[in-house]
Structure 1
Amino acid sequence: MQELADIQLLHLLREGDENAFTTIYKRYWKLLFSVAANKLDNLGEAEELVQDVFSDVWDRRETLTLTGPLPAYLAVAMKYRVINLQAKKKRARAYSSYAMENISPEDHSTEQWLRFEDLKDLLSGLVAALPERCRLTYQLSREMGLSHKEIAQQMNISEKAVEHNLARAVKTLKTGLKHLSALLFATLP
């Protein structure tokens, strides 16, 4: 199996060949680990993301079609996993900071805290439901604070595409938030 080309391994993988999967894993795990480890401080998180990418490859093996080389596909998949993890961590820090500064147990009731948590979960759900490119553009811009130029470079797209994706994401979120705010105000005492 070691001597087979990636295209042959992918063909065998589509048929459910576990040996082909193992060969791909052994061939590219170091690449994926280095991509993740270079961006993350935590090597345990890097290892976990490597497992996630390969797990996704296995889950999607029957429908996986590549337009370029396998290592490039895997590296981009890892890059997106890292971006999503960093955005999630940044969002968690922001929510925690907001909660520490604005919500204190003696000033607010448990009910208000639960409403805040529900609203946070609903907003996270709206962001997660965005199409992948829109979601990533939104997260890089709003949650990680990157400029349009930085986003374009990181995602390998034009700045115009960044603007389009961001506008689409914001429009979708605004529509969703209108429904959420109506729901929220309907439940206020």
Structure 2
Amino acid sequence: MLHKLPENENELLAKVASGDTHAFSIIYNAYRKRIYTIALQYLHAEMQAEDAVQEIFLKLWRLEDNLTNIRNLEAYLLQLTKYKCLNMMRRQNLENLHIEPLHEGFEYADSDTEDQILLNDTRKIVNEGIAMLPPKQKLVYQLCRMQDLKYEKVGEKLNISPETVRSHLKLALKSLRAHISMHTDLTILLILFKII
């Protein structure tokens, strides 16, 4: 439940606009739990919800003089939370468009010789990209994407935090996409098969 602000909202915003950190902490303490709860409902991940809260309040702090234009702080923060979470979900969905090596058993419905050659070439390029990854990124990629393990499980196996797992995977995917993008005809094929 929202804590009642001890001062007039407009006065608080004016103080924050002038750099008053105490006024900012009053707003933060009043709205943090509510924003976190809403972010968690959207994102279904505590760490991401915490990230959303931090980014929302950082954005609020950076508004500076524009803070005084806000007429309803609660409505503004709720709207900001919704858009921030939707953007994070979109970004996560893009990250989840992942590259997986084509399994030997994968067959295209129309198995013309030309298609088979193209698929074999694609498999080769993807596997080359995976082989070129730094050891830790390669291992994280294999555990997360090929064995379909959650960040927490991979973190336990490798004795690293889930956030570090996510960072390694993000870098691995970036490298793989860069490697594959050098083969633009294959990039189109991978998109068609929803592999990246």
Q: Does residue 77 of the first structure (1) align with residue 80 of the second (2)?
A: yes
Q: Which runs of 5+ in 2 are unaligned?
A: 103-118, 130-175, 185-196
Mapped partners of 2:68, 2:182: distance in 1: 38
Q: 1:106 to 1:54 in 2, by over 3 A?
A: closer
Structure 1, residues 19-74: CA drift from partner, whole Å, max 9, x if none? 11000000110111111011121111101110110011112223334453101101
Q: State the TM-score, normalizing by the size of structure 2.
A: 0.51
Give 1:93's aligned residue: 96
Larger Rg over CA atoms: 2
**1:35-50 correspondence to structure 2 within 5 Å:** 35-50=38-53
Give 2:10's aligned residue: 7
Q: Any idea what SS the aligned residue of 1:3 has?
A: coil
Q: 1:3 to 1:65 in 2, by over 3 A?
A: closer
Q: State the TM-score, normalizing by the size of structure 1.
A: 0.53
**1:1-189 correspondence to structure 2 within 5 Å:** 3-94=6-97, 96-97=98-99, 100-101=101-102, 103-105=122-124, 114=178, 116-117=180-181
Q: Any idea what SS the aligned residue of 1:80 has?
A: helix
Q: Which runs of 4+ in 1 moved over 6 A?
A: none
Q: CA RMSD in A?
A: 3.0
Q: CA deviation at 1:118?
A: 7.5
Higher helix share: 1
Native 8 Å contact 1:66 1:73 kept in 2: no
State how many pairs are aligned. 117
Identity of aligned residues (%): 23
Q: CA deviation at 1:4?
A: 0.5
